[in-house]
Structures are given as C-alpha cells and as structure tokens.
Amino acid sequence: MSTSPLNSNDVKSFRVALDGVEHRVDYRPGAALLDCIIDADLDPAFQCREGHCGTCMVLKVAGEVEMRQNNFLSRHDLERGYILLCQSIPLSNDVRVDCDA
C-alpha cells in the first residue's frame, strides 16, 4: 500500500472508526471526509462545516490529508495528528481516522 501523496482523485475510500465500529467509506473526488461520512449514513459530530468550531476534530491514525482551512486546531493539535473532518481531503489510499479518540 502506497503512502506517498496522491491527487485526491486517485483516492477510492478511507476508514473511519465511529462509536466503536470501523467503517470503510467510499471517497467522492473533491469532497471533504465529513461529507463522505455523512453520505455513508454515518453520524459524526459536526456543526459549522467551515473549519471554525472544532466539533469535527478527529485523530488521523494513518494516511495523508490536506486541510483546506483550519481556524481551530493549534500547532500542538496538528503535531498530535488531529484534523478537521469538514476540511480534510485525502491524499493517500490508507487514510484512517478515529472519531472516538
């Protein structure tokens, strides 16, 4: 499995742990992870969808993502691996996020 950065158009799916269950979610090119998780009829926490409130903050356990915007996470949060689901675009096929962390 490659871990080198890809164009998000090459990403087919990602994994998300939510309420103790791990799901594989189809990735829709150009969409944020949050949008795909909602499309999969899962129920992650979110509010603003604009990178401001931090409600969608989750731990990235594996893979590479790019955040379009971040007006909430501190440098320390980023160093620990936290991302905003509503702003994150996957850049590798091995993205895994943990909503329970």
Binding site for ligand FES (CB under 6 A): 46-49, 51-56, 72, 84, 86
Distance between CA 80 and CA 15 in Å, rounded? 19
Give phi and psi for 77, each to the nearest 5.
-60, -45
Distance between CA 47 and CA 65 in Å, rounded? 21
CB of 56 to ligand FES, least distance (A): 3
Conformational region of residue 41, where left means phi above 0, alpha means psi within -120 to 50, and beta covers everything else: left
Residue 60 parent element (H or E): strand 57-62
At position 88, the amino acid (one-letter code) is S
CB of 88 to ligand FES, least distance (A): 9
- CB of 72 or CB of 98, closer to ligand FES: 72
CB of 37 to ligand FES, least distance (A): 12
- CB of 40 or CB of 48, closer to ligand FES: 48
- CB of 6 or CB of 53, closer to ligand FES: 53
CB of 41 to ligand FES, least distance (A): 18
